[in-house]
């Protein structure tokens, strides 16, 4: 232990992990999903420390963190995420006077480049919707088309869609209230097509078991809330039926495609950011794509500068005036 530093409490690393996560969850600084994911990663780190006879936060040192990253053979992209989690946790330790310095923040983060993300063109999206309308089982057609519409037209996350409750949809006002990350709520307008899709689904929904006792807009065939995995299956099946193969076949492809097509159409990026629920515009920029023909047309539209220099008619007069 560093003799120049005495921690405020004698808690172990594993105890402080729970204290940290409980605090973040209590003040809604982290969503339940984020708490779950961080608990897994931090407990793995805590057990690694314990295995190496380090049980108190003040005894964590830089080489221990580096050894943890090395031993688990973690990919570059994952290392960045883990260092981000450890940095947040150690910020808490420093604030609570349980650690002198944030060790994780001093470790250089590896550079990596995100792979280019797939998105569907407008023609491909039409194929998906048309194929679903023609080929999906009658009982789920209207449910699935509404699902797809919310992900493409409103760019909603799968969690935002499946957690929609009946009370969140106000068709009379043509709007929906969406619960975002950290329990933030945003009001989003509905277009005529989405309003019609809601009405058609609401006509079918009473055929589902438990429809009158479930608050969720979307139900599974068993009358329960539609789950993330089920939604992923629905989207991947629709893409397969439409003969479309992308690297990632899930719901995020529809959300990503909706945002990309809006950007290509010249829509306001701030409004796209609002639909996506991003706090940072840099995150939104990952959804922006263009094709070569559009780029060529943009360059062709560049204004031409007039570089014609007017000739001086009488050079003698010009000389005399000087």
Cβ-Cβ contacts under 8 Å for 306 (sequence gap 6 or more): none
pLDDT at 195: 94
Q: Which residue has the tokens 């979307």?
A: 218
Nearest Cα residue to 60 out of 121, 17, 104, 24: 104
Tokens at 240, concatenated: 């397969």
Averaged over successive runs of 10 residues, the pLDDT of the chain (322 residues) comes to 74 96 86 86 95 94 92 71 91 93 87 64 91 92 95 92 96 92 86 94 94 94 91 92 82 89 84 84 65 62 63 51 46
CB 218, CB 168: distance < 8 Å: no
Check residue 61 and give its pLDDT. Answer: 94
Closest CA to 67 of 81, 55, 51, 87: 51
- Fold of domain 122-297: hpI Integrase; Chain A (1.10.443)
Going by DSSP bridges, is the β-strand pair 169-170/185-189 parallel, antiparallel, or unpaired? unpaired
Res 268: pLDDT? 81
Domain range summary for the chain, segments of one domain joined by +: 13-106, 122-297
pTM for the full predicted model: 0.59
Rounded to whole angstroms, the Cα distance separating 197 from 130 reads 14
- How does DSSP classify residue 60? -
Q: What is the model's pLDDT at position 2?
A: 45
| CATH placement of domain 13-106 | 1.10.150.130
- DSSP secondary-structure letter at 196? H
């Amino acid at each position: 232990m560093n003799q120049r530093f005495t921690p405020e409490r004698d808690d172990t690393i594993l105890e402080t992990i729970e204290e940290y996560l409980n605090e973040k969850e209590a003040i809604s600084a982290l969503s339940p999903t984020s708490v779950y994911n961080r608990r897994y990663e931090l407990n793995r780190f805590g057990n690694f420390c314990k295995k190496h006879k380090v049980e108190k936060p003040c005894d964590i040192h830089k080489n221990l963190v580096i050894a943890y990253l090395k031993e688990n053979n973690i990919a570059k992209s994952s290392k960045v995420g883990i260092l981000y989690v450890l940095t947040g946790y150690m910020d808490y330790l420093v604030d609570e006077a349980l650690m002198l310095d944030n060790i994780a923040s001093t470790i250089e983060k590896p550079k990596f480049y995100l792979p280019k993300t797939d998105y569907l063109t407008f023609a491909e999206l039409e194929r998906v919707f048309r194929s679903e309308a023609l080929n999906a089982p009658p009982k789920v057609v209207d449910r699935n088309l509404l699902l797809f519409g919310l992900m493409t037209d409103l760019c909603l996350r799968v969690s935002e869609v499946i957690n929609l409750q009946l009370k969140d949809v106000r068709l009379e006002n043509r709007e929906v209230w969406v619960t975002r990350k950290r329990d933030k709520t945003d009001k989003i307008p509905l277009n005529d097509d989405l309003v019609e899709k809601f009405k058609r689904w609401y006509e079918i929904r009473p055929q589902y078991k438990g429809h009158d006792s479930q608050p969720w807009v979307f139900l599974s065939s068993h009358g329960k809330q539609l789950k993330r995995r089920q939604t992923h299956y629905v989207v991947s099946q629709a893409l397969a039926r439409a003969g479309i193969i992308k690297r990632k076949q899930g719901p995020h492809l529809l959300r990503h495609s909706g945002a990309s097509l809006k950007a290509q159409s010249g829509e306001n990026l701030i409004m796209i950011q609002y639909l996506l629920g991003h706090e940072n515009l840099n995150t939104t920029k990952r959804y922006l794509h263009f094709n070569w023909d559009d780029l060529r047309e943009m360059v062709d539209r560049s204004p031409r500068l007039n570089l014609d220099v007017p000739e001086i008619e009488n050079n003698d007069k010009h000389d005399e005036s000087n």
